[in-house]
Chain A
Amino acid sequence: MSNCDAVDSNEHPWLGRVVKVGLFLLAQSIAVLLVSFVALLVSFAPGWSATTEQASLLQPGDAKSGSLLLKEDSAYTEAIRLGIDVDITVSGPTLRTRVTQIFRNPTKDWVEATYVYPLAADGAVDTLKMVVGDRVIVGDIKARQQARAIYEQARRNGQRAALTEQERPNIFTNSVANIGPGETVLVQIEYQEPVHQSGNEYSLRVPLVVGPRYNPAPIVQSVDFRKDGSGWGATHSDPVPDRDRISPPVLDPANNAPINPTSITVHLKAGFALGEVKSHHHNVKIASPDNATRVVTLADGNVPADRDFELTWKPTAEKAPSVGLFREHVGDADYLLAFVTPPAAEQTTQKPLPREVLFVIDNSGSMGGTSIEQAKASLLYALGRLQPNDRFNVIRFDDTMDVLFPTPVPADTTHVSEATSFVSALQARGGTEMVPAMRAALTDKLGDTNTVRQIVFLTDGAIGNEQQLFETITAMRGRSRIFMVGIGSAPNTYLMTRASELGRGAFTHIGSVEQVDERMRGLFAKLENPAVTGLTAKFSEAKVDVTPAIIPDIYRDEPLVLAAKLDKLAGSLEIKGRVGDRPWSVTLPLQNAAEGKGLSKLWARRKIGDAEVARTLREMTPEDTDKTILALALDHQIVTRLTSLVAVDKTPSRPEGQPLKVSELPINLPAGWDFAKVFGERPQLTPTQLRERRADAGQPAARRPAPVTPDAIRLPKTATSAALKMIAGLIMIVLALILFVFNRRQRLLTDVA
């Protein structure tokens, strides 16, 4: 049989080859499995993964150029450090504040830093200085686009540059480009502001942090039809188009120590003998060089920038001066600033008109913590002050809204106690949809013209769509008067002042529970006493440009503040009005005016405010408003929404080819706020990312990193190269086999031959 086998094999020589090829294939597949498992065992390292992460992290806007990277780890320890020094000089009616921001770069990279910070709403920012080493570079005022272009150019060229832009009248952004490794750059801005007066008390307020704003989602589109009746119009989809510019990263106080240490010094030269000087939210040391001067410093050195600094002072005399007149000569014009406190009206013989009071309380998430307690205490105080013949209603809102009574009800015991328990049960949560609440409050259901209609609106104003609110007030105010009560450690002062100005009311700040009693008493004095109405100002000789153009009504204890530009300082100023139902007038000779500082800037700032109001009231077209503002701003060198300050160090510092990283400086949560109440409900919106960007030489001008908008969930790369590799591998193996077989056959053929 063995023979037979041998014969068989000799008879079919190709059979052996087939067996051999089969064996080879088997060995090959074993080898493949072996190699793959050896690879598996030897290294389970992530580096082997065929997918890369970067594709998913590209920002949408920059995906094409592939230059922008978003880093999501919390690398703040390695980020730019910031220190703030605030130096304020009060000279009589005005104050000048110098804010120095110290940007220190402890990293090994070149960095661009942006910091969003608040300033007083009526401040005129006119100076930007950048200090690098021993060089001081002074900024120039430029139209906003132009300033931005200059800054971007310098940034690309590797030059140090600083840019100050206005995002809201009380929110500014500083950008500093090309801070070298280990380097410190100082950016200094200065602004002028009038001192505030209320009754016997003078005050200044330095906001130190921008409270996170609620930016309503662009769900409902509003339509503006053209005025020519052609039927064409445009839709506005986003109520806060610049949401990314006013939303810096916010650190959760539970996980991070407070940042941005701030020191504050106030040189107080009141111009009269000083009585009580008081800081309301910070511990201070007060030195008294003489009886009209004080130097106020923080007792504990530095504080984190997480609440407003508020300082008030009173004269020693029983009564504060009721008139103040100050002048400044700039260029070929004189500028005048006048403070006049009308006399308090004695209670007239006739009974005051009954009132209809609507209380609106904000119980949104941003009010969480101590703010809601202050708001509730204030509202409960107010309810207690109602007279039986008053009518009232209570509205509460977050992103929902409740109106307590269908129509305003008499303030009898039953209704007031019902309102008291309603208010006591309120809790802070949800978003801040302020516009519908304002609309509900302005809806005049009774229409009873024999009553005075007053709206008391308690909020921190932490919204980004201020303009929408202003438009609502303008459109619906009717006979209602709006009194804003700003609650919390860092309220939005711009919103409060403008809303009460448009609503022809007044506004009050309450920064702590201790202030509730005193401040609410002041507010009620305004509500219960007749206002000074029908005010006019007349200059006897000079040609003038007065602001405010239409003088608002003045409530009890408030001064009338006028700013004017005159062609000559001569003659007198006569102010007329009615206190309650009695006529009142006062005449001020202009020669007696004292020298003041920075009055021209204050005048310009108020003119700009007037123009913005006129636009809201639709008395001016947006184009005309912009033209007016731009001219004023460039004339008087102040930062507005249309102008920015830019400083460029002419010597390049960053070597070409070195990358530049972007660091958006995080801010503290305002004191007393509850992080979870503000951000907890929408964790995906928590802006805790640090953004990084590399600037390559010759790359086209990039704007700030595009916002991570909620609707831009970017899907990661979800394809492996497994199939590609396996196919390529198989093709090569097959090729190898073919070559092998071909070679073998050739050899066999030569053997046979």
Chain B
Amino acid sequence: MPRFISPLVLALVGTILFGDGAYIHAKAWLAQVLLERAFDHSVATGQPFKPWSWADTWPVARIEVKRIGASAIVLEGTSGQALAFGPGHIHQTVDAGERGVAVYAAHRDTHFRFLRDVATGDVIDVTRSDGKRFRYRADASSVVHFDASGIDPTTHGFELVLATCWPFDSVTSGPERYILHATLIGTDG
């Protein structure tokens, strides 16, 4: 039946492509499950704990926005590998809760999809791997070019920036980034 061959090939290629895309989401989702476990372990032991044995990064913080029920585990570093599994902490910047600005970046279509729903005034909770919790309040958002972020790493305030690609619904990548700026309002634990 030669006339079945072309739809079958088409279906197969389509399936593989779709699977590849779904795989990115599946990996992002599954990694977060593993990371959640590793992070809880880190908080309990106070030691960095790798989520799987061959990982080249480790969880450093948990970001939560309670109002919209969003949560993600942040990894150290922003290499492509780390970003596939979770938001990354740009490592020239300080840790959350310290003087300066902590910058976390993640993919717009996976872990930081929720950023579009975060409004000015929302409370962002960041739990560090040493168990300390910091409460930030979102106070500004802007769209910038990737190499002119306008983020001042030497700021004297206690600040947090969450960054992802812009626009959210685009399917191709571009030079623009969406950044959500927040300032520390409280510490507990």
> Chain A residues in contact with chain B, CB under 8 A?
28, 31-33, 35-37, 39-40, 44, 46, 48-53, 55-56, 58, 60, 63, 217, 682-685, 710-737, 739-740, 743
Q: Which residues of chain B from 143 to 189 have a CB within 8 Å of any chain A CB?
A: 144, 146-154, 163-165, 170-174, 177, 179
Report B89-124 CB contacts with A as 1/0, cut-off 8 Å.
Answer: 010111000001001011111101000000000000
Q: What separation, in Å, do the CA atoms of A436 and B2 have in the docked complex?
A: 87
Closest chain B residue, CB of each to CB of A689:
B92
Given A32-B18, A32-B22, A743-B7, are A719 and B147 also a contact pair (CB < 8 Å)? no
The answer to whether A35 touches B84, judged by C-beta atoms less than 8 angstroms apart, is no
Q: Specify which of A46, A713, A722, A736 is in contact with B103 (CB 8 Å cutoff).
A: A713
Q: For the complex formed, measure the closest distance between the CB of A81 and the CB atoms of chain B, giving whole angstroms.
A: 28
Stretch at the interface among B41-49, B64-72, B74-82, B126-134: B74-82
Sample of 14 A–B contacts (CB below 8 Å): A35-B16, A36-B20, A40-B30, A46-B80, A50-B84, A51-B83, A56-B146, A710-B154, A711-B153, A714-B147, A715-B105, A726-B18, A727-B21, A729-B13
Closest chain B residue, CB of each to CB of A72:
B91
9 closest A-B pairs by CB: A729-B18, A732-B14, A726-B21, A725-B21, A729-B17, A736-B11, A739-B7, A719-B173, A722-B24
The answer to whether A717 touches B23, judged by C-beta atoms less than 8 angstroms apart, is no
Q: Specify which of B15, B150, B152, B165 is in contact with A719 (CB 8 Å cutoff).
A: B165
Given A714-B146, A715-B177, A733-B11, are A728 and B17 also a contact pair (CB < 8 Å)? yes
Q: What separation, in Å, do the CA atoms of A75 and B20 have in the docked complex?
A: 35
Q: For the complex formed, measure the closest distance between the CB of A727 and the CB atoms of chain B, giving whole angstroms.
A: 7
Q: Specify which of B84, B90, B93, B146 is in contact with A46 (CB 8 Å cutoff).
A: B84
The answer to whether B147 touches A712, judged by C-beta atoms less than 8 angstroms apart, is yes
| Interface residue B140 (Cβ < 8 Å from any Cβ of A) | no
Q: For the complex formed, measure the closest distance between the CB of A250 and the CB atoms of chain B, giving whole angstroms.
A: 16
User: What residues on A are CB-neighbors of B26 within 8 Å?
Assistant: 36-37, 40
Q: What separation, in Å, do the CA atoms of A37 and B8 have in the docked complex?
A: 21
The answer to whether A732 touches B19, judged by C-beta atoms less than 8 angstroms apart, is no
Closest chain B residue, CB of each to CB of A35:
B19
Q: For the complex formed, measure the closest distance between the CB of B5 and the CB atoms of chain A, giving whole angstroms.
A: 10
Q: What separation, in Å, do the CA atoms of A723 and B113 have in the docked complex?
A: 12
User: What residues on A are CB-neighbors of B30 within 8 Å?
Assistant: 40
Q: For the complex formed, measure the closest distance between the CB of B109 and the CB atoms of chain A, giving whole angstroms.
A: 6
Q: For the complex formed, measure the closest distance between the CB of B179 and the CB atoms of chain A, giving whole angstroms.
A: 7
The answer to whether B10 touches A735, judged by C-beta atoms less than 8 angstroms apart, is yes
The answer to whether B7 touches A722, judged by C-beta atoms less than 8 angstroms apart, is no
Q: Specify which of B110, B151, B153, B164 is in contact with A722 (CB 8 Å cutoff).
A: B110
The answer to whether A716 touches B83, judged by C-beta atoms less than 8 angstroms apart, is yes
Given A725-B17, A726-B17, A739-B7, are A684 and B23 also a contact pair (CB < 8 Å)? no
Q: Specify which of A39, A684, A722, A737 is in contact with B93 (CB 8 Å cutoff).
A: A684
Q: What separation, in Å, do the CA atoms of A145 and B80 have in the docked complex?
A: 40
The answer to whether B19 touches A729, judged by C-beta atoms less than 8 angstroms apart, is yes
The answer to whether A713 touches B18, judged by C-beta atoms less than 8 angstroms apart, is no
The answer to whether A711 touches B16, judged by C-beta atoms less than 8 angstroms apart, is no
Interface residue tally of chain B, by bracket? 35 or more
Closest chain B residue, CB of each to CB of A738:
B7
The answer to whether B112 touches A684, judged by C-beta atoms less than 8 angstroms apart, is no
Closest chain A residue, CB of each to CB of B4:
A743
The answer to whether A732 touches B10, judged by C-beta atoms less than 8 angstroms apart, is yes
The answer to whether B21 touches A732, judged by C-beta atoms less than 8 angstroms apart, is no
The answer to whether A49 touches B81, judged by C-beta atoms less than 8 angstroms apart, is yes
> Chain B residues in contact with chain A, CB under 8 A?
3-4, 6-8, 10-11, 13-27, 30, 52, 78-81, 83-84, 88, 90, 92-94, 100, 103, 105-110, 112, 144, 146-154, 163-165, 170-174, 177, 179
Q: What separation, in Å, do the CA atoms of A56 and B79 have in the docked complex?
A: 9
Q: What separation, in Å, do the CA atoms of A63 and B154 have in the docked complex?
A: 24
The answer to whether A36 touches B22, judged by C-beta atoms less than 8 angstroms apart, is yes
Q: For the complex formed, measure the closest distance between the CB of A324 and the CB atoms of chain B, giving whole angstroms.
A: 52
Most chain B CB atoms below 10 A, which of A50, A711, A716: A716
Q: For the complex formed, measure the closest distance between the CB of A651 and the CB atoms of chain B, giving whole angstroms.
A: 39
Q: What separation, in Å, do the CA atoms of A189 and B7 have in the docked complex?
A: 74
Q: Specify which of B103, B110, B150, B179 is in contact with A720 (CB 8 Å cutoff).
A: B110
Closest chain A residue, CB of each to CB of B54:
A44
The answer to whether B83 touches A718, judged by C-beta atoms less than 8 angstroms apart, is yes
The answer to whether B153 touches A719, judged by C-beta atoms less than 8 angstroms apart, is no
User: What residues on A are CB-neighbors of B6 within 8 Å?
Assistant: 739
User: What residues on B are CB-neighbors of A28 within 8 Å?
Assistant: 11, 15
Q: What separation, in Å, do the CA atoms of A518 and B177 have in the docked complex?
A: 61
The answer to whether B20 touches A713, judged by C-beta atoms less than 8 angstroms apart, is no
User: What residues on B are CB-neighbors of A717 within 8 Å?
Assistant: 80, 146, 165, 173
Q: Specify which of A36, A49, A715, A743 is in contact with B146 (CB 8 Å cutoff).
A: A715
The answer to whether A718 touches B27, judged by C-beta atoms less than 8 angstroms apart, is no
Q: What separation, in Å, do the CA atoms of A232 and B19 have in the docked complex?
A: 65
Q: What separation, in Å, do the CA atoms of A715 and B151 have in the docked complex?
A: 10
Q: What separation, in Å, do the CA atoms of A52 and B146 have in the docked complex?
A: 14
The answer to whether B3 touches A743, judged by C-beta atoms less than 8 angstroms apart, is yes
The answer to whether B107 touches A49, judged by C-beta atoms less than 8 angstroms apart, is no
The answer to whether A736 touches B14, judged by C-beta atoms less than 8 angstroms apart, is yes
Q: What separation, in Å, do the CA atoms of A712 and B151 have in the docked complex?
A: 7
Given A728-B17, A729-B16, are A715 and B153 also a contact pair (CB < 8 Å)? no
Q: For the complex formed, measure the closest distance between the CB of B101 and the CB atoms of chain A, giving whole angstroms.
A: 8
Q: Specify which of A32, A49, A56, A714 is in contact with B19 (CB 8 Å cutoff).
A: A32
Q: Specify which of A37, A718, A722 is in contact with B112 (CB 8 Å cutoff).
A: A718
Q: What separation, in Å, do the CA atoms of A685 and B149 have in the docked complex?
A: 17
Closest chain A residue, CB of each to CB of B146:
A715
Q: What separation, in Å, do the CA atoms of A480 and B79 have in the docked complex?
A: 57
The answer to whether B164 touches A718, judged by C-beta atoms less than 8 angstroms apart, is yes
The answer to whether A732 touches B109, judged by C-beta atoms less than 8 angstroms apart, is no
Closest chain A residue, CB of each to CB of B110:
A720
Closest chain A residue, CB of each to CB of B170:
A719
Q: What separation, in Å, do the CA atoms of A682 and B11 have in the docked complex?
A: 55
Closest chain B residue, CB of each to CB of A61:
B147
The answer to whether B7 touches A63, judged by C-beta atoms less than 8 angstroms apart, is no
Q: What separation, in Å, do the CA atoms of A729 and B16 have in the docked complex?
A: 7
User: What residues on A are CB-neighbors of B93 within 8 Å?
Assistant: 684, 713
The answer to whether A711 touches B109, judged by C-beta atoms less than 8 angstroms apart, is no
User: What residues on A are CB-neighbors of B148 within 8 Å?
Assistant: 60, 712
Q: What separation, in Å, do the CA atoms of A743 and B2 have in the docked complex?
A: 11
The answer to whether B20 touches A729, judged by C-beta atoms less than 8 angstroms apart, is yes
The answer to whether B15 touches A35, judged by C-beta atoms less than 8 angstroms apart, is yes
User: What residues on B are CB-neighbors of A710 within 8 Å?
Assistant: 152-154
Q: What separation, in Å, do the CA atoms of A728 and B171 have in the docked complex?
A: 11
Q: Specify which of A48, A682, A733 is in contact with B23 (CB 8 Å cutoff).
A: A48
Q: For the complex formed, measure the closest distance between the CB of B105 and the CB atoms of chain A, giving whole angstroms.
A: 5
Further 15 A-B residue pairs, CB within 8 A, beyond A32-B19, A49-B81: A32-B18, A35-B15, A44-B27, A44-B52, A49-B24, A715-B144, A718-B105, A718-B108, A718-B164, A720-B84, A725-B24, A726-B17, A732-B13, A736-B7, A736-B11
